[in-house]
C-alpha cells in the first residue's frame, strides 16, 4: 500500500445523555463510534458502508474534528488531531475537506458561487487577492462548471451542479484527504453517475485520498479500493472492495450484500435473500458480546460472551466474527 496519510487508532466518540433542566444528570451514553482503527493510504479510495445509525457519519465528523474525540488518536500526516490546539487544527483542516450529502443544505443560499469558492482561499490566505478570480474560475472548470456562472446563486443550479460546487469548495485548498458523506444519495441515477465519475477522476489526477461514505454497496464497490463495513460503531469487516462485496465473510456483510436489489430479473428471482429480522439495536444500550448477535443467523452462545475483535482473516482482510472460519465453509 502507498504511504499512510491518515491513521485512526482506537477512536471512540461517545455522546452523553442528560436529563433534567437545572440539575443535569448523566443518564447514559450513546457510543456512536466505539473503537475504530483504520489506515488510509495516499491516493486510496476507502468506502465506508453501514446502515443509518451505525456511526459512519459520526466517524467522518470525528476525523474532521467537528465533534470531540472521546478516546484514541486521529493522526493526519504525523500530527495527532485529537488533542492539538485550535491553531494547529486550522492548519490541519487545509489538508482535509468534506463534501456533504445534501447539496441543497450544504451551500449558503445567500452566497454566490464565487463567494462560496473564494471564502476558503481567503480564510486560509493561500491565494493573493488579485488571483482569487482566476483560481475560482480554474476550480469551476476542474469540476465541469462554466466559469461564467460565477455570480449565480445556488438556487439557480440543479442538484448535480450544486454537488459539483460543493466538491469545488472542498478542492479549493488542495487537500490531501476528502471525506464525502453520502455525496450521491440525494441525486438521481443519471446524475449520480456524473458525480461518481468526477470524484474518481479527481482522485486519480490529484492523487487524493477519498473516504467515501454510502449505504449503497454497488456505488461503493464501483469507486473504492478498499471497503470498511460498520455496525453499531465498530468496523466488522475491512478488505479490498471486490473481495468484500463478492465474497463477504462477516454475517452482517453477507446480509447487507444479499439485500441489495440487483437490476437483473433472472438473478433476482432465483437467489436466496438473507432477510435479517428486526432493526439495528440502539447504540445507547448495545447487546452484550457481538452487537450483531440478536439478528445473526449464525449466532451461538459464544457470540454473547465477548466482543469479537477485528482480526486478520486472510492477507488484507479483517473480519470481526468469532465464527468467520466456520461460516466461510458453509
Partner 1 sequence: MPLLSVTDLRTYFHTRSGVYRAVDGVSFSLDRGETLGIVGESGSGKSVTCYSIMGLIPQPPGRIESGTAVFDGTDLLHCTPAQSRAIRGKRVAMIFQDPMTSLNPYARIGDQLIEPLLIHEKISRADALKRGLAALDAVGINDAQKRIHLYPHEFSGGMRQRVMIAMALITKPELLIADEPTTALDVTVQAQILELIKKMQRELGMAVIFITHDLGVVSGLCDRVQVMYAGRIVETADTRTLFYSPKHPYTRALQRSIPSLQPKGAELYTISGMPPDVSKPIPGCAFAPRCEHAAERCTTTVPALAAVNATHAQACLRVQAGEI
In the complex, minimum distance from the CB of residue 103 to partner 1, in angstroms, rounded to a whole number: 14
Its sign, for the CA torsion 89, 94, 96, 101, is: positive
Query: According to CB under 8 A, which one of 24, 26, 141, 242 is a site residue for partner 1?
Result: 242
Cell, residue 144:
465541469
CA 162 to chain centre: 20
Sign of the torsion angle spanned by Cα atoms 59, 64, 69, 75: positive
Of the residues 18, 158, 174, 207, which one makes contact with partner 1 according to CB under 8 A: 158
Tell me: does residue 243 bind partner 1 (CB under 8 A): no
CA distances (Å), 15 to each of 60, 128, 284, 307, in order?
15, 41, 9, 21
**Residue corresponding to grid cell 493561500:** 126
- Contacts with partner 1: how many residues (CB under 8 A)? 42
Residues 6+ apart with CB under 8 A from 259: 273, 274, 275, 276
Binding-residue pattern over the window 267 to 306 for partner 1, x denoting contact by CB under 8 A? -xx---x-xx--xx--------------------------
Fill in the DSSP letter of residue 73: E
**Contact criterion met (CB below 8 Å) for 124 and 173:** yes
**Smallest gap from residue 163 Cβ to partner 1 (A):** 13
Measured CA to CA, the distance from residue 10 to residue 33 in angstroms comes to: 10
CB nearer to partner 1: pick between 261 and 315: 261
For the CB of residue 161, give the shortest distance to partner 1 in the complex, in Å.
8
List 262, 284, 300, 302, residue binding partner 1 (CB under 8 A): 262
263 counts as binding partner 1 under rule CB under 8 A:
yes
Segment 48-87, which members bind partner 1 (CB under 8 A)? Answer: 51-52
- Please compute, for residue 170, the number of CA atoms within 13 A of its CA located in the half-sphere on the CB side: 28
Q: How far apart are CA 113 and CA 107, in angstroms?
A: 9
Helix (H, G, I), strand (E, B) or coil at 5: strand
260 binds partner 1 (CB under 8 A): yes
Q: Which of residues 177-236 bind partner 1 (CB under 8 A)?
A: 188-194, 196-197, 200, 215-219, 221-223
With respect to partner 1, which residue has the nearer C-beta, 12 or 152? 152
Which lies closer to partner 1 via its Cβ, residue 35 or residue 144? 144
- With respect to partner 1, which residue has the nearer C-beta, 127 or 219? 219
For 94-113, letters b (16+ CB in 10 Å) and e give: bbbbbbbbbbeebbeeeebb
| 135 is an interface residue for partner 1 by CB under 8 A | no
Task: Work out whether 2 is an interface residue with partner 1 (CB under 8 A).
Answer: no
Residues near partner 1, by CB under 8 A = 51-52, 158, 160, 188-194, 196-197, 200, 215-219, 221-223, 241-242, 255-256, 258-266, 268-269, 273, 275-276, 279-280
Amino acid at each position: 500500500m502507498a504511504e499512510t496519510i491518515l491513521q485512526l487508532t482506537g477512536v471512540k466518540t461517545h455522546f452523553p445523555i442528560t436529563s433534567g433542566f437545572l440539575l443535569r444528570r448523566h443518564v447514559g451514553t450513546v457510543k456512536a463510534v466505539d473503537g475504530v482503527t483504520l489506515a488510509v493510504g495516499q491516493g486510496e479510495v476507502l468506502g465506508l458502508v453501514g446502515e443509518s445509525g451505525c456511526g459512519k457519519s459520526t466517524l467522518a465528523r470525528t476525523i474532521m474534528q467537528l465533534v470531540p474525540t472521546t478516546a484514541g488518536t486521529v493522526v493526519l500526516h504525523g500530527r495527532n488531531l485529537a488533542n492539538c490546539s485550535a491553531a494547529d487544527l486550522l492548519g490541519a483542516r487545509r489538508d482535509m475537506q468534506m463534501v456533504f450529502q445534501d447539496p441543497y443544505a450544504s451551500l449558503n443560499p445567500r452566497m454566490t458561487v464565487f463567494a462560496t469558492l473564494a471564502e476558503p482561499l481567503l480564510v486560509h490566505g493561500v491565494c493573493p487577492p488579485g488571483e482569487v478570480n482566476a483560481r475560482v474560475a480554474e476550480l469551476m472548470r476542474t469540476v465541469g462548471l462554466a466559469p461564467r456562472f460565477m455570480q449565480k446563486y445556488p438556487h439557480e443550479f440543479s442538484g448535480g451542479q450544486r454537488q459539483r460546487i460543493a466538491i469545488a469548495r472542498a478542492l479549493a485548498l488542495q487537500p490531501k484527504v476528502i471525506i464525502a458523506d453520502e455525496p450521491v444519495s440525494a441525486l438521481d441515477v443519471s446524475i449520480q453517475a456524473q458525480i461518481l465519475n468526477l470524484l474518481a477522476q479527481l482522485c486519480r489526477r490529484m492523487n487524493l485520498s477519498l473516504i467515501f461514505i454510502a449505504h449503497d454497496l454497488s456505488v461503493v464497490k464501483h469507486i473504492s479500493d478498499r471497503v470498511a463495513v460498520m455496525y453499531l460503531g465498530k468496523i466488522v469487516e475491512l478488505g479490498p472492495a471486490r473481495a468484500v462485496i463478492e465474497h463477504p465473510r462477516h454475517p452482517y456483510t453477507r446480509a447487507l450484500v444479499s439485500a441489495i436489489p440487483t437490476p437483473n430479473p433472472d438473478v433476482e428471482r432465483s437467489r436466496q435473500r438473507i432477510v435479517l429480522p428486526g432493526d439495528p439495536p440502539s447504540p445507547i444500550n448495545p447487546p452484550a458480546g457481538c452487537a450483531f448477535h440478536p439478528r445473526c443467523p449464525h449466532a451461538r452462545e459464544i457470540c454473547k460472551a465477548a466482543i469479537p475483535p477485528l482480526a486478520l482473516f486472510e492477507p488484507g482482510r479483517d473480519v470481526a466474527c468469532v465464527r468467520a472460519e466456520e461460516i466461510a465453509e458453509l
